Amino acid sequence: MLSRTQVDEFREQGYLVLPGLVPGEALAAIEAAALAIVDRFDPAAERTVFSTKDRDAGRDDAFFASAEGVRCFLEEDALDAAGALRCPPRLAINKIGHALHDLVPAFGEFCRRPCFGGLLRDLGYAAPVLWQTMVIFKQPHIGGEVRWHQDATYLITAPPCVTGLWVALEDAHRDNGCLWVQPGGHRTPLRERYEVDWRTRVGTLRTVDATPWPSLAEAVALEVPAGSVVAFHDHLPHRSAPNHSPASRHAFTMHVAEQGAAWAESNWLKRPRLGDFAL
């Protein structure tokens, strides 16, 4: 599927952009499945906000349970001072995660599209297994910033072997919060590690290397049309800005590891009741 040039680009830059890889009807199917989940969301029962501004101190049991479930998380600015929604749920949800591929047939079917398994095998996987999936809405006007981070901070394997596949469900550009990456930054050290003490069920983000995050002068904005796929290395620094525009920026993300990789006991992502989802 991938050319030698594309494989070399991924290895050199730490990411690869594949425009138009997913057809519109496949995007529409998982958009519809995501909105059906949102329409069943009960804001009176679930009020977990997803934010990266607090160094992940706000992770709670709902977040941990989402490793084997399907949970909606609110945008930070979706609630007023009294805790009520400022806007309808379809405009208030930050993301849905993290076992959509296991529990929602439309997402399982989407993830098993041959293009994804073929892409991963061309990048060197022998037996890629899907561990985590998310729909990220980046809502108009209130879509929150996602700070610089590396996926290996949160998905801790030995050896490190996680690849992210980010699918643009809508056009992504600077105005509505597209991804920014540091080309070649996958060769920089892992800066942070998020670890959970399961006795207390408290997670801590700790610094393991003081290397500064990239400046915007060192970063590239990935402005891509709907249907594009971005593959990125688990040490690649990436971020997205807030969305203050009137246009949403929906995306679907998959995180894959090699079958048989060892997962740290302190990893937040626990899936003891779910089997391997092979691609």
Is 268 a member of any domain?
no
- Please report the pLDDT score of residue 82 as a whole number: 75
Structure confidence by residue, pLDDT tens digits, 52-103 = 656 766 677 888 999 999 999 998 888 887 778 888 989 999 999 999 999 9
- Please report the pLDDT score of residue 56 as a whole number: 67
Is 24 a member of any domain?
yes
CATH code assigned at 24: 2.60.120.620
Is 266 a member of any domain?
no
- Please report the pLDDT score of residue 43 as a whole number: 79
Is 273 a member of any domain?
no
- Please report the pLDDT score of residue 127 as a whole number: 97
Is 129 a member of any domain?
yes
Give me the tens of pLDDT residue by residue for the chain, a chain 279 residues long: 999 999 999 999 999 999 999 999 999 999 999 999 999 998 777 766 766 656 766 677 888 999 999 999 998 888 887 778 888 989 999 999 999 999 999 999 999 999 999 999 999 999 999 999 999 999 999 999 999 999 999 999 999 999 999 999 999 999 999 999 999 999 999 999 999 999 999 999 999 999 999 999 999 999 999 999 999 999 999 999 999 999 999 999 999 999 999 999 999 998 888 989 999
Is 275 a member of any domain?
no
Secondary structure of the chain as H, E, C letters: CCCHHHHHHHHHHCEEEECCCCCHHHHHHHHHHHHHHHHHCCCCCCCCECCCCCCCCCCCHHHHHHHHCEEEEECHHHECCCCCECCCHHHCEEEEEECHHHHCHHHHHHHCCHHHHHHHHHCCCCCEEEEEEEEECCCCCCECCEEEECHHHCCCEECCCCEEEEEECCCECHHHCCEEECCCHHHCCCCEEEEEECCCCEEEEEECCCCCCCCHHHCEEECECCCCEEEEECCCCEEECCECCCCCCCEEEEEEEECCCEECCCCCCCCCCCCCEEC
pTM (two decimals): 0.95
Structural domain containing residue 166? 4-260
Structure confidence by residue, pLDDT tens digits, 159-180 = 999 999 999 999 999 999 999 9
Number of domains forming the structure of the chain: 1
